[in-house]
Amino acid sequence: MKLLLTSGGINNASIHDALIELLDKPIAESNALCIPTAQHGHPMCTPASVWRFIAGQGSATHMCALGWKSMGVLELTALPTIDKERWVPWVREADVLLVDGGEATYLAHWMRETGMADLLPSLSDTVWVGVSAGSMVLTPRIGHEFVKWTPPTGGDSTLGVVDFSIFPHLDYEGWSENTMAEAERWAADIAGPSYAIDEQTAIKVTDGIVEVVSEGNWRLFNPRLRCGRHSNGSPN
């Protein structure tokens, strides 16, 4: 897969340009599926916030209203009641998966339960665009600070598609626990490569190459533990 892992969505021209580059064609010619599942596992999310994501309303979720050729909704919790022969083609035919935030462990659980996680390696041309937990779900672990729904197996592990973790919403207004100092403490517990990113930053991954696309603030912790290159900005 080609990945665009964001904290707050397609929030500036640099992230928008990165999306177009990954799609390799105009948005108006691209078919999208949005996945709101992570919201159901987080205590701060509501039916209204799920609707806002699908409707493309709000600064963090307007990516569903970018002018896609087609837009569908894929609710993972419904998939166990549907034959795979029916829903797997929906995923394969999509050019992009728009994956909302909420609770990353809940999303990881349902991706495993449904077989969606097993499908990912075969989606070589599909673009995955994550918001917050929709990005964090692809990392090895998220840190206990971000666990609001405990999976049956416990812990904070997620899917490990990439080899780094993500601390989202850096310096988000009104969120005193999302400072750089808190990110440093979180990264020390993660004890692996990790990024702290704000709402104006995304991490683009193509063919194992990691690039930071940013008009804001970000920081890479434990850089010697991973390989990659950065673009469009410098870490704090």
E runs forming strands in 67-113: 70-73, 96-99
Find all residues with CB under 8 Å of 210, minimum gap 6, and list them.
162, 164, 203, 204, 226, 227, 228, 229
CA–CA separation, 119 and 27 (whole Å): 24
Sorted by where each begins, the domain ranges of the chain are: 2-225
Q: Which CATH class is domain 2-225?
A: alpha beta
pLDDT digits (tens, 9 = 90+) for 165-174: 999 999 888 7
pLDDT digits (tens, 9 = 90+) for 110-146: 999 999 999 999 999 999 999 999 999 999 999 999 9
CA–CA separation, 122 and 137 (whole Å): 18
pTM over 0.75: yes
Q: Mapping DSSP to helix (H, G, I), strand (E, B) and coil, where does residue 131 land?
A: strand
pLDDT digits (tens, 9 = 90+) for 202-229: 999 999 899 999 999 999 998 765 544 4
